[in-house]
Amino acid sequence: MPVSSAVGKPVPVRVGRETKGRGGKGVTVITGLRLSATELAAIAGDLKRRCGCGGTVRDGNIEIQGDHRDTIVATLRARGFDAKRAGG
């Protein structure tokens, strides 16, 4: 369930790609999901199954191994989140 900001608009979920601190290997990072730890873990598990790869929940963000931004944005939008690609 998307969380609203003070203005009343849904908080955007950003889906980006990072390589920093990972030995050059890229991961897809999902930020802005304001959910409990158990809800984040459930969504992370679903995304890992859809993408066929590993991942984790770290510091309130979901990290999925590899570049799966399009798949993740489509999946989160289907769940009702205002997901957008971040970065190039």
Q: What is the DSSP string of 14-43?
A: EEEEE-TTTTT--EEEEE-----HHHHHHH
pLDDT averaged over every residue in the chain: 88
Region for 6 from its dihedrals, namely left if φ exceeds 0, alpha if ψ lies in -120 to 50, beta otherwise = alpha
pTM: 0.84
The mean per-residue pLDDT over the stretch 81-88 comes to 87
Q: What is the CATH code for 13-85? A: 3.30.780.10
Domain ranges for the chain = 13-85
Task: Please report, as a single letter, which amino acid is at residue 48.
Answer: K
Q: Which of 3-12, 31-40, 42-51, 68-77 has the lowest mean pLDDT?
A: 3-12
CB count in 10 Å sphere of residue 6:
5
Per-residue pLDDT, 87: 82
Mean pLDDT value across residues 2-20: 74
